[in-house]
Amino acid sequence: METPFSWSSSGRSILKLNIRHLWLYGVWPLGSFPLFELYVIFVFALGVWNFVEASVSVSFSWRDLEATTLVLTNTFTLFSGTVKLAFFTRDRRLYNSLVRRVDSLMLVQSEPCSRDPVLEKIVQRSRRQAARLTLGMLLFMASQGLIWFPMPLIAHPGERRLPFAQHLWDNNTAFYKLSYTLQCVTSLWMAEISFGLDCLFASIMILVAAQLEVLALRITKLKAADGGADGGRRSLSTFSIAHEKMYSDLCLCIESHQQILRFVRHLNDTMSPIAMTQFVFSVLVACVALFQATYGSDITGVIRCISFLPIPGGQVYLYCWAAHQVTEQAAAVSSAAYSCSWVDASEDFKRVLRILISRVQKPLILTAGHLYPINREAFLSLVNASYTYYALLGQMNKRPTN
């Protein structure tokens, strides 16, 4: 399961788009190439350089809250990508295992899906949804460069302004073109890495939710195996065979359910630190971006922050929406158990069904940092936290300076 992917093997994975996107930006190695490790070091260097440059810039503009928050809007976003890259590099084998388990999970219910067009449609829909979500979010993130990168040249021609952190120690006079290029490249690179990992986990959760939905429908349709309506007119042998088939199908459903639960535990262990990192930085980014959009005196900075505000919110919502789907579909398995034709089923069937119902009573919840539940309520609480910090910054900005 932990065997690294090659370019050809990644093409056979259901998460091909996610893997190859992360490979392109120096995160996911495909094959054993020593030069790729140098590429990873280069990407880390970009992230560290951005953090150092921003820290120096903030030290010069510390008393100017507007200038400081404008720098931090970009810095928090890119530092989040750097931290995520560090987590991924530390646990590469865990990520290889995760994706291979996803591919295996999609085969668990392939046989019943191949016999039922409704179930097959659910699986195909989830695959399309995951791919479209990934492509759409990554393109949306890249489109921010069209707003942020050329803005200083358009709004302040001849003033030698930089897109993000200004070099106040020399008024942007030294290596201006190089600094401008590095800021643009670093911003695009680290933001794509951050979003790429978010889309990877969101895609996996979409696929898991679909597998739970398929499982719930399989359990509901167990009534089709029951001969309750005409059981009296059947021979005892035929009636017994029908109930044995129903019991056997339920056992297969429970086996599929157990495999899905094992995978979700593995997913939670892998995703937890990345999700926690994103939650923390999204709250900070939304706070400073909202402050800039409200109190900024530079109209170009206001426009940039307004266009950027959906980014941190979207990253958090990706996790909360997708994880909530998993929780809802897991709860639907319990409803499906009540909906099947259990009244006239055999005692063995009823006994096993009770065990299944008892198991699914425990909510299937993914967490950030193994502490914070990921669901729609978490999204609202994080939005409230961002607004609270924004209000605090607003109060600090209104205080008279001595």
Query: What does pLDDT average to in each consecutive run of 10 residues of the chain (402 residues)?
Result: 86 94 94 87 93 91 80 89 94 93 92 92 94 90 84 85 89 90 92 93 96 93 54 57 83 92 94 94 89 79 81 90 94 86 82 86 89 89 86 75 51
Average model confidence (pLDDT) for the chain?
87
Compute the chain's Rg from CA coordinates. 26
CA–CA gap between residue 93 and residue 385 (Å, rounded): 35
CA–CA gap between residue 199 and residue 203 (Å, rounded): 6
Q: State the pLDDT at residue 365.
A: 92
Q: State the pLDDT at residue 154.
A: 87
Q: State the pLDDT at residue 237.
A: 64
Six token digits for residue 330? 């897991």
Q: State the pLDDT at residue 400.
A: 60
DSSP 323-365: HHHHHHHHHHHHHHHHHSS-TTS-HHHHHHHHHHHHHHTS---
Short-list 279, 278, 267, 271, CA closest to 380: 279
Which residues make Cβ contacts (< 8 Å) with residue 346, sequence separation at least 6?
Answer: 243, 244, 246, 247
Q: State the pLDDT at residue 245.
A: 84
Q: State the pLDDT at residue 42.
A: 94
Short-list 245, 264, 250, CA closest to 215: 250
CA–CA gap between residue 282 and residue 280 (Å, rounded): 6
CA–CA gap between residue 327 and residue 250 (Å, rounded): 21
The label of the residue with tokens 């803005």 reads 151
CA–CA gap between residue 88 and residue 67 (Å, rounded): 32
DSSP 39-83: HHHHHHHHHHHHHHHHHHHHHHSTT-HHHHHHHHHHHHHHHHHHH
CA–CA gap between residue 219 and residue 228 (Å, rounded): 17
CA–CA gap between residue 328 and residue 352 (Å, rounded): 22
What is this structure's pTM?
0.90
